[in-house]
Amino acid sequence: MFTVRSPLACAGVAAALLLTSAPAALAEGELNLYSSRHYDTDERLYSDFEELTGITINRIEGKADELLARMQAEGSNSPADILLTVDTSRLQRAKGMELLQPIESEVLEARLPGYVQDKDNQWFGFSQRARILFYDKNDVSDPPKTYQDLADPKYKGQICIRSSSNVYTQTITAALIEHLGEDAVKEWAEAVVANFARDPQGGDTDQLRGVVSGECDIAMSNTYYFGRAIRKPVDGVSDSLDMFGWVFPNQDTIGAHMNLSGGGVAAFAPNKENAVRFLEYLASDQAQQYFSAGNDEYPAVPGVGISPSVAQLGFFKPDDIEASAIAANIPAAQKLLNEAGWK
């Protein structure tokens, strides 16, 4: 479960390795970062890394697919050292396009749980978001307790959820395929579609706004969207927080699905050593706390404290299925969702 506690012993040792080796990289050049993370709070991550190491970060920012296409077009001449993006499917896509390379790092192995790492060490998850269910407490007295419950006919016309082309929908479906099998998940998807309050549209915040407006009674969203609305004003959500209840699904079985934000070293990184140092920094206590405090995410490193906005959601059991297994099921998930009529 996620709790607020002191770092684990092995994490402390790894952090010491990171900090004691930091002076060796002072004033040793640059790091070219390709990032689809679009959060202002990440500025602190970059500036602190530069101050700690003396390495200058040059950034190219854009949508994930655009960055992948750019790296592919640049080929062996690409200046990219690091790719940062959101969701397992995009990280796996980069690996499949041969845009990343395997690396060895005792720090990352010591700090990060195995389930947030690619099995070939080509990408690593550094922050997590639980994909959970929110509902209108005034209208729903018996909310769904599991992802499977979303298929129950009693919720007909009540569910708001994102489209089948969205990576969050694809990864939760891919995870369920790993746990339940394709046939069962196809039946589930067809039944969920029958319970839609509207055709899928918009982002996670829009699903929450659908609950506020009364267009739907139940919505699926990543936790950090709701945590953000707790921490600062979010139009159409923050003024109505009291009406929301929430459920971390499948607490008696597989646990709540976790989406990852992560990165890897580019295949032709001209500054590979600096790139590895940057990934190791992202696994430090300092950076992990930024992910939570600045963007309402859950740290990937066990034992790192979480922000008050995230803590308000409560403790829960996460699904610790390996991210690589989810990634392998993405093509099957997309096909299955299309066949189920999930727009």
pLDDT tens digits for range 303-314: 998 889 989 999
| C-alpha count within 13 angstroms, C-beta hemisphere, residue 10 | 10
* pTM for the predicted model, two decimal places: 0.85
Residues 176 and 220 in one domain: yes
| Count of the separate structural domains present in the chain | 2
When computed from its CA atoms, the radius of gyration of the chain, rounded to whole angstroms, is 20
Residues 158 and 208 in one domain: yes
Give me the chain's average pLDDT, please.
90
In 3D, which of 50, 26, 35, 127 has the Cα closest to residue 81? 35
pLDDT at 2: 42
In a domain, 3, yes or no: no
Strands (E) in the chain, as ranges, are: 30-35, 56-61, 82-86, 124-136, 159-160, 218-222, 244-247, 257-265, 298-299
Are 307 and 293 in contact, with CB atoms under 8 Å apart? Answer: yes
Residues 138 and 245 in one domain: yes
Residues 192 and 174 in one domain: yes
In a domain, 2, yes or no: no
Residues of the chain by 3-state class (helix, strand, coil), percent to 5? 45, 15, 35
For residue 259, pLDDT beyond 70: yes
Rounded Cα distance between 80 and 242, Å, is: 45
In a domain, 94, yes or no: yes
pLDDT at 185: 98
- Percentage of the chain lying above the pLDDT 90 cut: 81
pLDDT at 294: 84
Number of DSSP helices (H) and strands (E) in the chain, helices first: 14, 9
| C-alpha count within 13 angstroms, C-beta hemisphere, residue 196 | 17
Span 39-77, pLDDT tens digits: 777 888 899 999 999 999 999 999 999 999 999 999 999
Residues 152 and 142 in one domain: yes
CATH code, domain carrying 59: 3.40.190.10
In a domain, 177, yes or no: yes
Residues 141 and 246 in one domain: yes
87 DSSP 8-state letter? S
Show the tokens assigned to 133.
């269910």
In a domain, 275, yes or no: yes
Residues 204 and 333 in one domain: yes
Rounded Cα distance between 207 and 168, Å, is: 13
In a domain, 322, yes or no: no
Residues 168 and 118 in one domain: no
In a domain, 88, yes or no: yes
Which is more confidently placed, 7 or 135? 135
Are 332 and 326 in contact, with CB atoms under 8 Å apart? Answer: no
**Residues pairing with 219 in the sheet:** 134, 160
Residues 236 and 334 in one domain: yes
In a domain, 320, yes or no: no
DSSP assignment of 127-141? EEEEEEEEEETTT-S
pLDDT at 239: 96
- Percentage of the chain lying above the pLDDT 70 cut: 92
Rounded Cα distance between 328 and 175, Å, is: 10
Residues 214 and 332 in one domain: yes
Residues 185 and 243 in one domain: yes
The domain of 198 spans 130-256+327-339
DSSP three-state, residue 266? strand
CB atoms within 10 A of CB 76: 6
Residues 152 and 197 in one domain: yes
> Strand 56-61 to strand 82-86: parallel, antiparallel, or no bridges (unpaired)?
unpaired
Place of tokens 């890897």: 264
> Strand 82-86 to strand 30-35: parallel, antiparallel, or no bridges (unpaired)?
parallel
